[in-house]
Amino acid sequence: MAAAVGEVRERHGRVDALVHAAGLEISRLLPDKEPREFDLVFDVKSDGWFNLLHALGDLPVGATVAFSSIAGRFGNAGQTDYSAANDLLCKSASALRRTRPQTRAIAIDWTAWAGIGMASRGSIPKMMELAGIDMLPPESGVPTVRRELVAGGFRGEVLVGDRLGVLTDEWDPTGGLDTDAADALATGPMIGHVTAMGVHRGIVAETTLDPTAQPFLPHHSFHVFGVYPWVGLLRAGAVEHPLRVLDRCRVRWGEVVAVAGGMVTVRFRPLTWDGRSLRLGAPTLEQAVGARDGLALAGELHPGDRVALHWDWVCDRLTPRQLGALRHYTARQLAIVNGLAHPAPAAVLG
């Protein structure tokens, strides 16, 4: 290896693309696998890769392509050694972003090849079919590598395959999570009972949301003021449109003054902007939709009703408790936003 790399160094002074495609598969459940078999399967991939990197030394490398496997990403029965070796290639390729930032390192997780290679032997193609795993046509290999090297700008792990069948199934109903212990640690109103954790689903929790018990539910001020970019636009100098969006998108409250057909006149306090802070202004009147084409979100309305408004619609009739909660959480969110020199949206927008 050192001699081959030395010749490249002497003749060219660089490596444009390095491809590592070694592999050996001996499928056997771990209790039945001899240590020497494990070492053989693991070392063919790992030792070959690290020997290459060691021999390269400080030689400039444009790109590396390591042939990994979906077994490294998802695991596979009887392939602990093979899965571990492939995952090691992926992690090493990812680490090259730090140790060799000038090198574009890619690890391709191929699924099984049809007609060639280790998975084409004996009954393996039939087993793949029964497992719901589609095999790759060999002619897709070279174009895939070329596309990733030439057309893409991605570094890291790339999965190439079609249906993955049983490989994406969860091995345990709860993902191995102790749900009782998780419940004891869970905090916050959005987490009731933790039921499972999965590789693909993440943590799954069930909770009952009750606006009468959780007064923050009737509004979404956090998203309007803290997530969306409109506060940042206000601070950047644009006022009219961002202020209108903030005022209309927030769930605001008002008092019904008159009802005429499907339109409702409501007295409410609009948002104002003084160049530094958002505040509620003096009461004013606005026209809102109470009913249209037979749809009335808040039912029949009468003067004096306290209602919630969202964009151009009256969306609900408020109880005194809900009205108090909506006022409280709106004031709280405005205080938070006004107290930050540069809210997150402003920072994003520069």
Could you give the angle at which helices 80-99 and 35-56 cross, rounded to 10 degrees? 20
Determine the Cα–Cα distance for residues 50 and 89; give it in Å rounded to an integer. 9
How far is Cα of residue 263 from the mean position of the Cα atoms in its chain? 42
Q: Of 59, 80, 62, give the one whose Cα is nearest residue 71.
A: 80
How far is Cα of residue 220 from the mean position of the Cα atoms in its chain? 22
Determine the Cα–Cα distance for residues 76 and 70; give it in Å rounded to an integer. 9
The predicted structure's pLDDT at residue 348: 38
The predicted structure's pLDDT at residue 124: 76
Relative to beta strand 263-268, strand 271-273 is unpaired
CB burial of 173-203 (b: ≥16 within 10 Å; e: otherwise) equals eebebebeebeeebeeeeeeebbbbbeeeee
Sign of CA dihedral 221, 224, 227, 230: negative
**Angle at the Cα of 78 (from 74 to 82), degrees rounded to 5?**
60
Determine the Cα–Cα distance for residues 223 and 343; give it in Å rounded to an integer. 12
The predicted structure's pLDDT at residue 211: 60
CB burial of 234-251 (b: ≥16 within 10 Å; e: otherwise) equals bbeeeeeebbebbbbbbb
Q: Of 115, 97, 117, give the one whose Cα is nearest residue 106.
A: 97
List, as one string, the DSSP characters of 41-110.
HHHHHHHHHHHHHHHHTT--EEEEEEEEEHHHHH--TT-HHHHHHHHHHHHHHHHHHHH-TTSEEEEEEE
Q: Of 329, 331, 301, give the one whose Cα is nearest residue 316.
A: 301
Determine the Cα–Cα distance for residues 145 and 255; give it in Å rounded to an integer. 64
Which amino acid, residue 103? T
Are 162 and 110 within 8 A, CB to CB? no
Determine the Cα–Cα distance for residues 136 and 116; give it in Å rounded to an integer. 10
Q: Of 280, 217, 282, give the one whose Cα is nearest residue 243.
A: 280
The predicted structure's pLDDT at residue 345: 46
The predicted structure's pLDDT at residue 16: 93
Q: Which CATH number is associated with domain 221-349? A: 2.30.30.140
The predicted structure's pLDDT at residue 83: 92
The predicted structure's pLDDT at residue 212: 62
Domain-wise residue ranges, the chain: 2-168, 171-208, 221-349
Q: What is the dihedral of CA 215, 216, 221, 222, to 10 degrees?
A: 160
The predicted structure's pLDDT at residue 266: 96
Determine the Cα–Cα distance for residues 19 and 86; give it in Å rounded to an integer. 14
The predicted structure's pLDDT at residue 189: 64
The DSSP H or E segment spanning 273 is: strand 271-273
Q: Pick 2-168's CATH classification: 2.60.120.10, 3.40.50.1820, 3.40.50.720, 3.20.20.70.
A: 3.40.50.720
C-alpha distances out from residue 82 to 42, 44, 45, 270, 301, Å: 6, 10, 9, 64, 68
Are 221 and 330 within 8 A, CB to CB? yes
pLDDT (tens, 9 = 90+) of the chain, 350 residues, equals 889 989 999 999 999 999 999 888 888 888 898 999 999 999 999 999 999 999 999 999 999 999 999 888 888 888 899 999 999 999 999 999 889 999 999 999 988 888 787 777 777 778 888 888 888 888 888 988 888 888 877 788 888 888 888 887 777 777 778 888 877 776 666 677 888 887 777 788 888 766 666 655 656 777 787 777 778 778 777 788 989 999 999 999 999 999 998 999 999 999 999 888 899 999 999 999 999 888 888 889 999 999 999 999 999 899 998 898 889 888 988 888 888 765 544 443 33
The DSSP H or E segment spanning 325 is: helix 320-338
